[in-house]
Structure 1
Amino acid sequence: MEHPGEPDPAGDSPVLALECLGQGMLAKVGGKAANLGELARAGLPVPAGFCLTTLAYLDATASPALADVHRALAATAPDDLAGLASLAAKARELVLDADVPAGIDAAVRAAYAALGADRAVAVRSSATAEDLPFASFAGQQDTFLNVVGADAVLAAVRRCWASLWTDRAVTYRAVQGIEPSAVSLAVVVQRMVDAAVAGVLFTANPVTGRRHEAVIDASPGLGEAVVSGAVNPDHFVLDGATGRILERRLGDKGMIIRPLPGGGTERVAQPGAGLAPSLDDAQLAALELLGRRAEVHFGSPQDLEWAIGQDGAVWLTQSRPITTLYPMPERPPSGPAPRVYLCFSLAQGLTRPLTPMGLAGIRLIASSVAGAAHFPVPVPREGPAPYAEAGQRIFFDLTPVVRSKAGRAIVPRVFDVMEARSAAVLRNLFADPRFSVTVRSPWRLLRHIVPVAARARVPETLIRGLIRPEEALRRADHVGEQLRVALAVPAGATATQRLDHVERILGRDVFAVVPAILPLPALGFALLAVAGKLAGDPGNGALQEVLRGLPNNVTTEMDLDLWSLATVIRNDPASAAVFGDPLPEIARRYRAADLPGVVQSGLSDFLGRYGQRAVAEIDVGMPRWSDDPTHILGVLANYLRVDDPALAPDRQFGRAAREAEAQVGRLVAAAGQRSRLRGALARAALRRTRMFAGLRELPKYYLVEAFGAVRQQLAAVGAELAAAGTLDAAEDIFFVDLAEAHRGVGGEALQGVVAQRREAYAAELGRRHIPRVLLSDGTEPEAVQIKAGQTGAVQTGAGGRGPAGADGSAGQLSGTPASAGTVTARARVILNPQGAHLEPGEILVAPSTDPGWTPLFLTAGGLVMEMGGPNSHGAVVAREYGIPAVVGVPDATARIATGDNVTVDGAAGTVMPAR
C-alpha cells in the first residue's frame, strides 16, 4: 500500500491506506472512504484499514456487456421501475461473474495481512456519488461486518461491487439524474471494533435544525442495530455550548447485533435492556466533542457513526454531511443576538429556488423599497440590511418586526391572508423571551411608511376610489402605460447600456407601481368589512361570497381569454386535431409558423398579451410563455377535454359573478332593514369592493411585465457574451449576477462560475422542505412547535399516508378556508404545472400556486394547497372561479395521492376521504 503524507489523487495504485485519502479523491475512492481519510488525517480516532479504489472496480468489471447495460439504463425513464429492475439485475450478474484481476487480488491480500493475521474487518461500499453535500446515498450499497480471512474479504468486495446495481440504488440514481456510466465503487476494509455500544451522532439537530445541539442514538453491540432501525435506541440531545443534556429518552433496545467467532454476526434478544442507559454522561460528552471536532474539520454539520469498544476506546467509523438541514442565510447576522428570518419565497407561493440573476433582480427591488422608505442601502446590488438568501430562496430578517409592538400587531395579520401558517409560526415566537418587545411606539415605523405613502399619493388614491371609482380604475391603467414607456430600450443599445437599463428598471421604476395601485384593492377589502358591519356582521362566509367572479382581475381575464381560444379551436376540426400530437412537436410547429391559422394566430395573439407570464414568474431567470409555449399548449389540451357544458369555465365564472351580485343584494337588504342610509352606504361600499378587489393581481402583473422586459434585455446581452466566448450559451446569463455580467462584457470568462451555479441550482431543485421561518442558529420554529405538540392543524396518526389513514377518527386534513363550497372528486397531485395533466372536475392538490398555475384552475373541481391564506393568490382566483378551496394544509401533496377520492369543504377548511 502507498503511505504518502498527503493524499495523492494522481496515484494509480488500486489499494490505498485510509490515511492516504482525502476529499480531493472523491472520484477515486468515493465519499465514505474520502471522509474516513479526512478524519484519520485530522487526528480523529478511525479504525485502521485500506481502500480498493474505483480503479480496482473498473479494472475488474470492464466489459462490453456492462457498457451496454449502462447505455440501456441511461435510456430508461426513471418511472419505468420494471425496466430499471431488469437492467439492474443484469448488471449485478455481470459484476458477480467478473474475475478479480491477479494484481488486485494480491494487493488486497497483502493489505489485509498488514492489519493482522485473520483480523475481523468490516467491508463497506464507498460509491463515488455517496456522502456528497448535495445528496445522501446512505444505505444504497452494501456493508459486510465481521469478515474474517482474505478469501472472505475478496468475496465481500465482489458483493459490494455488485451492490452498486441494486434496484434501489439504480432507481435512486435515475431519479437524481446521475448517468450510469458516471458512477463506480470503491470499497473500504477496516478493522472491526468489538463494540460494547455503538450508534449515530448528528452534530446538529436534524429535526429542529438547531446547529448547537448534538443528537446521539445508541444501543449495545454493533451499530448496525441502530443504523438499520432494528431497535428502539437510547436517544440523547446535548447542548454543545454548555454540555447540558437536554433530552434523555431510553429505548427498549430489545435486540443486540454481535459478532460471531470466525465471522458473521448474530441477532440476540435482550429483554429488560431498556431499563438502563447505554451511555453515561462522560461518554456522551466525549462523543459530542469528537463530533464537534469533525464538524470543524469538514466545515459543516456531520452525521457520524461511532463505536465504543469493550476497552472503552471511542472510534468514528463514518462521517458525512447532514444533507437534510436547511442552509443558513448567507449574510451572517451582526452580533450574538438571535435573529428571525421569514421566507419571502414561500409567501409568494414559490417553493423552487431562484436563479442567480433572479435573486440579483430581487435584491435591487428590495433595495429600492428600502431606499424609498429612507433606510440606508450602502450597496444596492447586495440588497438592504434585512434581505437575506438561504438555499437560493428569499428571506427577510424580521427581528425588528417581532420585537416591535406595532410589527406584532400588523405583520401576522398580513400573513393571515397571504400565508396563514407563517403567521401562526410568527405568533408562537412572541412568547420566546429572546424576542421580547423592545420598541413600543409606532412612530419609528410611521417615519418610514409616511414618506412612501405621500410620494405615491396614497391618500389621494383612496379618496378618488371613494368618490370617483371609475376614474380610479383609469388611473390604475395609466400606471401600467407609464411603466411600459419606461421599459423601452433604444434600438442599437450596447450590452453595457442594456445592463444599465435593467438596473434602472429594477432599482427605480418597478417598485413605484405597488403603492400607486395597491391602495385600491386594500380599499375594496376594507369596504367589504364596512359593508359587513352595516349589514349586521353576517359572518365571513357571507362576505367572501361577494368576492366570487370579480371583474378587473387581470389573471382571471387571462385565463378566460385562453378558454375562449380553446373554444375557437374546438370548433375548427383541423385545429383541434393538432392537439393529438406531442406538445413539444406542437410548440416546434408554432415557432415555425406551421400550425393551422386558428391555432397559430390565436396563440400568437394570446402570447402577445400574456407571453411575459411564467411559472415562478418573479424569477427573471425562468423562461416566459413567449419563450416556450409548451405549458400553454398543455393547458389548451386540458381545456379541449371538457365535454360537459356545465363545466365550461366561462359559464362557471358567469355563475359565480351572478351569485356574488345576488349576495350583494342580500347584504344591502339586510343593511336597509336597519336604515335606508345603511342600505345606501352598504350598496356603495360593495360596488367598490367588486370594482377594486380584483385589482389585487394588477401590481404583480405590472411587475411581471417589467420582468419580461428585463429578461429580453438580459437574453440579448447573453447572446452577445456567448458570441464573444465569455459564456457557452445565451441562457447562461441567468446564472450570473449583474456585477458578473458587467465583467463578462469586459471580457472576463464566466464559464466556471456558471457551471458551479448550475450544479448548486440543480441540487436545490430537489429540495422539498422549505422552512417558513428560520432562526439564526438554524432552528426551524415550526418543526420545534410540531415536535412539542403545540400545533394541531393536521390530525395525524399511525394509519398510513393518504387521507383515509391520516387519522383514526376522521382521516381529516385541516387548513384555512379559502373558497366556500363542497366537492367530492378524484385528487390529482401536481408538483409542477409544466406539462401537467388535469382531467375536468379533478381536485388539484399542489404545494402552492402563482399566476402561472391558474389556467389549470378553470377545469379543476376544487383546490388544495400546502401554503397560502384566504387572500393568497390561489385562494382569490379559486373564489372568483367558484371552486371550493382549502389552503395551508400541511404536507397535502404527500398525504394525498393522485387517485384518492376526497371531499373538499372550502367553508370548513377540511379535506377528508370520500365516504
Structure 2
Amino acid sequence: MLQTQNIFVFPRDASVSLKIGEKEIATLASVGGKGFSLIRGSQSGLPVPPGFILAVEFFRPWLDDLKNSAAWAEFQMAAADLPSTCKGLKEVATLFKFNSEQLEALEQPLELFAAEALFAVRSSSPEEDLDGASFAGGYETILGVRKDALEEAVVRAFTSCLDYRVVAYKKEHGFAIDSPKLAIIVQRQIASEVAGVAFSLNPLSNDFDQVVINANFGLGETVVSGLATPDAFIIDKVTNKIVVRTIGNKEISHWLNLAGGTTNGAAPNQDTACLTDPQILELTTLVKQVETLYGQPIDTEWAFANNQLYLLQARPITAYVPVPANMMTACGAQKQLYLDVSIVVQGLLKPISSMGTDILAGLIKQASKQLFGVNLLGEPIQSIAIVQNGRLYLNLSNVMKMFGKDKVSAMLNNMDPNASRALSEVNETEYVSGHQHPHPTFHLLVRLPKVAWRVLKARLFPQQAHKNAQQQIAHFLPEIRAMAQSSMAIYELSEALLKKTFQFIFKTTVPLFLASRIALEHLKSIAGNSSNGELTMLERALPNNITTEMGLALYQLAVIDKDSDSFKERWKEFLYCFGHRGAIELDIAAPRFSEMPQMLLNQIETLRQTLGTDDNPQARFDQAQKERRTAYQAICKHLEKDAGWLQLKRFQSLYSVYETLSGYREMHKYLLIYTIAQLRERLLDAADLLVISKRLNTKTQIFDLTMSDLKLAASDSTYDLLSAARRNRAFSDRLAAVPTLPSLFNSRGAILRPKPCTPKEGEVAGTPMSAGVVRGRIKVLHWPEEKPLLRGEILVARATDPGWTPLFVNASAVILEIGGMLQHGALVAREYGLPCVSGVSNATNLWTDGTWVEVDGGSGVIRLLEQELQPEAPNL
C-alpha cells in the first residue's frame, strides 16, 4: 500500500498544522532538487508558500506501467531516434490516472487547503536544479490549478520528464536516460502583482557582490519564459544601493484567474518600474539570506502579493565561474586581482590534471628559487603566484604594488591585449594589496653578476655561445633520461629532476635569450628611423628556433616516400627530437607525440597536398628568410648613409647576436617538456603496479593524484588513492565545465573586460601580431586534433601552445582570442610569415567554417568578404 511518507508537506502559514510523514526525512533522491530546496527554505523560516511534494515513490505505479509498455521497449531499442520514441512514451503517460492508493494518500494534504485554493504544479527531479545541471525550461509548470484539475496537471508535469528536450539534456550531461525519476511539487498559487527572478550574483560579469533582479507585473512566468522584456535592477550588496535600473518594455503580463488558470493582459504601466525601491531592497535582503543559507550562488523565483514577499523557488546557479575559497575575499573587504597565466601565456583553456598541477607548482617553486631565492607560491592573497585546481594565476594586486598598474599593464600587453586594456581601466587603489609579499631584490643582486657575465659573453661571442649551448644540451638530455630511469622514488625524483632542469636552463639558455632581447631593443633604437615594416621583418624566419624546426621537420617527412627506408629513418629522428612534445604538453597527463603517432601521420598526409607548389612551409620559411635579409640590407644602407660607420657596425654586431640567439626563447620550454615527459614515463610504470594491486582502476588515474598522495601510498597500504583522486578533481572538474574561463578576474568573482570598441560594419578588430594580408576560408578549431586544417585555410582558435605547431604549416593566417606578441601563436606565425591577429573577443564563435574573410595582420582587422570579392577556393 502507498504510504503517506511518499508525500511531504512544507507548511509556512500558522493555520497549517498537519505534517504528513514527519518521521520521514525528505531526501534529495525522494523529493528532487527543487522540492528539497523548498523544504529546507521553509524549515529555515523563509517566506515559502505552503504546499506538498509528491515524492518519487508516489509515481512508482506509473513508472512500472510505463516500463511494461511497448513504447518503452521501442525507446530502449531505438536510441538513435529519440524524438520519435520519446513522443511514444509521452502518449502512453498522458493516459495515466491516480489509482486508489494515490487518491487516498492525497486526501490529507489537500484537506489543508480551502476548496477554492489554486495551486502551482511543478516538477522536482532528483537530477534537476543541481550544482552542475539545471534542466532549465525542460519540465512543464502548470499554474492556477484547481483541486478538481490536479490529476490532469500532475499527469502533464509527469509526462514532461519524457520530453525529448529533457532526455537529450540528460544524455548530454551524463545522466541515465533509461530510469526516469520525478517528484512533483503542489504549491499554493500566489496571486502576485509583481514577480520575477533574482540572481545572487551578476550572471554577465560573474560579480558575487551584485544581486540582479528581473521583474514584471503579474505572474513571473513571463520573465522565466522570456515572453516579455522585464525591468532589470542591479544592486550592490556592499552598499545596498541600486547601481543599474533598466525599465523594460513589459510587452505582456500573465495574471492569476481566480476561477482557475491564467489570463494575459497588458502591464498596468509599461513606462514605470514594477518594483519600488523599498521592494527592491527587501528582495535583495531575501536573496542574500537564501545565498547564505545554501552557501553558494542562488537563482530564485519570487513574488509580491498584497505587499508580502514570497520565495517560490531557489536553486543553485549552474552557469558561473567558481572561485576557490582561498582566493575569495569577504564581501566589502579589500579585493584582489588575479590573472590566469594558464590562458594568456600557455593557451591552456581547461584545467590541467591534479598531477600536472603538482608538477607545475614544482616548476614555479624551482624557478622562483633560482631567480629570486624565495618560493613565490603561498597563500593566494599574500603571494605572487598561485597554482591550484589545474590553473596558474598571478596575484596582480601584489605585482602592482611592486611595479605599478601602468607597467604591469604594459607588460601584460605582450601576453593578452584585451586583459591589458581591461587592467588599464581599473581603479588601482581598489585592488592594491596591503599584505606583505616576498621582496627578492637582494637575491637578484647576488645572482646578477653571474647572469650578467654569461649574457655579456653571449653578446660578444654569439656563435661560440650557440655552439657551447648545443653541446651542453646534447649532454643534458641523456643525463635527464638516465636520472629518470634510476631507482629513486618517484616523489623524490620529481623534485630532483625539476631542480636540475632549472639550474641548467638558468645557466645555459636563459643568458642567450636575454642577450638576444637586449640586442633587439638596442638595434631597434639604432634603426629607429627605419620603417616599422622593415623592423618587424627582422623578427621573421630566424634560425635556431626549436619549435620552428619541428614544423619544418614534419614537412620534410611529407616530401619523402612514406614506404621508403629514408622515411623510416627520418621518422625515427623526428620522434627522438620531438616525440616528447604534444598538445597541452605542460600537463604531464597529456599524451605525447610518440604515444599517438597517427595524429602526426595524418598531418603529414595533409602536408603532402602542398608538394610541388610554392605555397608550402619550407618555401614560405625560405621566402621569409629572404625578406628578412633584404630588410636587414636596406636598414644597413640607410644607416651607412645617415648614421655613420660606427652606428652601422654596432647595428650589424647586435643583429648577429639577435639572429643567432633569439631562437633560444623556445629552448627553455623544450627542455622543461622533455623532463616532464620522462617523469610521465615513470608515472605510467608506477600506475601499472597500482592497477595490478587494485589501488587504481586505470593507469591514467595516476594523473588525478599528487606526489604527496604517492608518497603516502608508499608508506601506507590502506591509503585510499581512488578517494584522493576524487577529492583532487572536485574543483577542477567544476572549472572544466565552464565554457570560457576568464583571463582577468577579482576575488569577488567579477570578470574584468575592456570597454568594447566599435569597428566598421563587416569588420572585427583585434591586435596586430604578424603583418601581411591574406584572404581565405575560416577553420575554427577548439583543440589541435578536432579536424584537419587544409592548405590555405585561416586558423581560428582561442589560444595555441606548441602542440598546435604542426597545424601552422598549412595555415594561411591565424586569428586568436587570447595571446600577445610573445605568446606561442604570434611567435610561430611570425616565424612562418603568416598574418596573425590576436585579442579578438569571442573569435571562435564569430564565424563558421568556410566563411571567407580577409585578415590584415598589420592593422589587426578581419573583414568579412562580399560575394564578388571572394577568391576561388584553392585547388586542394
Over 3 Å counting, the alpha-carbon distance change for 1:60 and 1:523 in structure 2 is farther
Structure 2 residue aligned with 1:288: 284
Distance in 2 separating the partners of 1:122 and 1:667: 79
Structure 1 residue aligned with 2:767: 816
Structure 2 residue aligned with 1:710: 679
8 A Cα contact 1:373 1:451, kept in partner: no
Distance in 1 separating the partners of 2:187 and 2:177: 28
Cα distance, 1:643 vs structure 2: 5.9
- The amino acid of 2:349's aligned partner reads T
User: Out of 633, 646, 649, which is 1:665 matched to?
Assistant: 633
Cα distance, 1:819 vs structure 2: 1.3
Q: Secondary structure at the match of 1:323?
A: coil
Structure 1 residue aligned with 2:596: 628
Comparing 879-888 with 411-420, which one deviates more in the overlay?
411-420
| Structure 1 residue 187 corresponds to structure 2 residue 184 | yes
Over 3 Å counting, the alpha-carbon distance change for 1:195 and 1:540 in structure 2 is same
| Structure 1 residue 300 corresponds to structure 2 residue 296 | yes
Comparing 119-128 with 854-863, which one deviates more in the overlay?
119-128
Over 3 Å counting, the alpha-carbon distance change for 1:645 and 1:107 in structure 2 is farther
Distance in 2 separating the partners of 1:305 and 1:208: 21
8 A Cα contact 1:822 1:906, kept in partner: yes
8 A Cα contact 2:329 2:335, kept in partner: no
Distance in 2 separating the partners of 1:278 and 1:606: 69
Structure 2 residue aligned with 1:157: 154
Q: Secondary structure at the match of 2:534?
A: helix
- The amino acid of 2:589's aligned partner reads G
Cα distance, 1:343 vs structure 2: 0.7
- The amino acid of 2:400's aligned partner reads V
Q: Secondary structure at the match of 2:186?
A: strand
8 A Cα contact 2:48 2:311, kept in partner: yes
Over 3 Å counting, the alpha-carbon distance change for 1:357 and 1:453 in structure 2 is farther
Cα distance, 1:559 vs structure 2: 1.3
8 A Cα contact 1:364 1:380, kept in partner: no
8 A Cα contact 2:355 2:588, kept in partner: yes
- State how 1:715-734 maps to structure 2 within 5 Å: 715-734=684-703
Distance in 2 separating the partners of 1:841 and 1:616: 25
| Structure 1 residue 449 corresponds to structure 2 residue 444 | yes
Structure 1 residue aligned with 2:575: 607
Distance in 1 separating the partners of 2:25 and 2:735: 22
- State how 1:718-757 maps to structure 2 within 5 Å: 718-745=687-714, 746-747=716-717, 748-757=719-728
Distance in 1 separating the partners of 2:191 and 2:604: 66
Distance in 1 separating the partners of 2:609 and 2:103: 64
Structure 2 residue aligned with 1:638: 606
Q: Secondary structure at the match of 2:550?
A: helix
Q: Secondary structure at the match of 1:859?
A: coil
* Structure 2: runs of 5 or more not aligned: 12-20, 867-876
After superposition, what is the alpha-carbon deviation per residue over 1:367-421, rounded to whole angstroms, capped at 9, x for unaligned? Answer: 22333355654998999933335764221212122123x3545433332222222
User: Out of 327, 346, 349, which is 2:347 matched to?
Assistant: 349
Distance in 2 separating the partners of 1:613 and 1:693: 21
Structure 1 residue aligned with 2:43: 41
- The amino acid of 1:534's aligned partner reads I
Structure 1 residue aligned with 2:115: 117
Distance in 2 separating the partners of 1:368 and 1:24: 52
Q: Secondary structure at the match of 2:271?
A: helix
Comparing 609-618 with 280-289, which one deviates more in the overlay?
280-289
Distance in 2 separating the partners of 1:145 and 1:507: 66
Q: Secondary structure at the match of 1:200?
A: strand
Structure 2 residue aligned with 1:888: 839
Structure 2 residue aligned with 1:207: 204
| Structure 1 residue 770 corresponds to structure 2 residue 741 | yes
Give TM-score, length-normalised by structure 2.
Answer: 0.89
8 A Cα contact 1:499 1:714, kept in partner: no
8 A Cα contact 2:537 2:628, kept in partner: yes
8 A Cα contact 2:118 2:145, kept in partner: yes
- The amino acid of 2:856's aligned partner reads D
Cα distance, 1:913 vs structure 2: 0.3
Distance in 1 separating the partners of 2:724 and 2:809: 42
Cα distance, 1:71 vs structure 2: 4.4
After superposition, what is the alpha-carbon deviation per residue over 1:666-697, rounded to whole angstroms, capped at 9, x for unaligned? Answer: 12222222123333322232232222222221
Over 3 Å counting, the alpha-carbon distance change for 1:551 and 1:415 in structure 2 is same
Structure 1 residue aligned with 2:194: 197
Distance in 1 separating the partners of 2:304 and 2:771: 60
Over 3 Å counting, the alpha-carbon distance change for 1:387 and 1:444 in structure 2 is closer
| Structure 1 residue 780 corresponds to structure 2 residue 751 | yes
Cα distance, 1:644 vs structure 2: 6.3
8 A Cα contact 2:223 2:230, kept in partner: yes
After superposition, what is the alpha-carbon deviation per residue over 1:451-471, rounded to whole angstroms, capped at 9, x for unaligned? Answer: 4544xx321232122211112
Distance in 2 separating the partners of 1:24 and 1:633: 57
Q: Secondary structure at the match of 1:690?
A: helix
Q: Secondary structure at the match of 2:742?
A: coil
Distance in 2 separating the partners of 1:821 and 1:499: 49
Comparing 211-220 with 752-761, which one deviates more in the overlay?
752-761
Structure 1 residue aligned with 2:137: 139
Distance in 1 separating the partners of 2:816 and 2:322: 25
After superposition, what is the alpha-carbon deviation per residue over 1:522-567, rounded to whole angstroms, capped at 9, x for unaligned? Answer: 4334433433333343243322212222211111111111122222
Distance in 1 separating the partners of 2:388 and 2:395: 12
Cα distance, 1:610 vs structure 2: 1.5
Structure 2 residue aligned with 1:327: 322
Over 3 Å counting, the alpha-carbon distance change for 1:444 and 1:387 in structure 2 is closer
Q: Secondary structure at the match of 1:617?
A: coil
8 A Cα contact 1:366 1:383, kept in partner: no
- The amino acid of 1:792's aligned partner reads P
- State how 1:829-868 maps to structure 2 within 5 Å: 829-868=780-819
* Structure 1: runs of 5 or more not aligned: 3-10, 77-82, 576-595, 786-790, 796-808
| Structure 1 residue 504 corresponds to structure 2 residue 496 | yes
Distance in 1 separating the partners of 2:30 and 2:523: 72
Cα distance, 1:866 vs structure 2: 0.2
- The amino acid of 1:48's aligned partner reads P
- State how 1:542-561 maps to structure 2 within 5 Å: 542-561=534-553
Distance in 2 separating the partners of 1:26 and 1:657: 66
Cα distance, 1:821 vs structure 2: 1.0
After superposition, what is the alpha-carbon deviation per residue over 1:797-842, rounded to whole angstroms, capped at 9, x for unaligned? Answer: xxxxxxxxxxxx4221111111111111111111111242212111
- State how 1:464-479 maps to structure 2 within 5 Å: 464-478=457-471
Distance in 2 separating the partners of 1:758 and 1:23: 31
8 A Cα contact 1:631 1:835, kept in partner: no
Cα distance, 1:859 vs structure 2: 0.5
8 A Cα contact 1:197 1:221, kept in partner: yes
Distance in 1 separating the partners of 2:667 and 2:180: 50
Structure 2 residue aligned with 1:8: none
- The amino acid of 2:145's aligned partner reads V
Query: Identity of paired residues, percent?
Result: 28
User: Out of 102, 105, 108, which is 1:107 matched to?
Assistant: 105
Distance in 2 separating the partners of 1:837 and 1:86: 34
- State how 1:569-580 maps to structure 2 within 5 Å: 571-572=561-562
User: Out of 215, 218, 225, which is 2:215 matched to?
Assistant: 218
Distance in 2 separating the partners of 1:139 and 1:648: 51
Cα distance, 1:443 vs structure 2: 12
Distance in 1 separating the partners of 2:758 and 2:707: 43
Distance in 1 separating the partners of 2:709 and 2:225: 47
- The amino acid of 2:686's aligned partner reads V
Structure 2 residue aligned with 1:166: 163
- State how 1:781-796 maps to structure 2 within 5 Å: 781-782=752-753, 785=754, 791-793=755-757, 795=759
Structure 2 residue aligned with 1:879: 830
Distance in 2 separating the partners of 1:840 and 1:106: 72
Over 3 Å counting, the alpha-carbon distance change for 1:343 and 1:51 in structure 2 is same
Distance in 2 separating the partners of 1:680 and 1:53: 87
Cα distance, 1:251 vs structure 2: 2.3
Q: Secondary structure at the match of 2:791?
A: coil
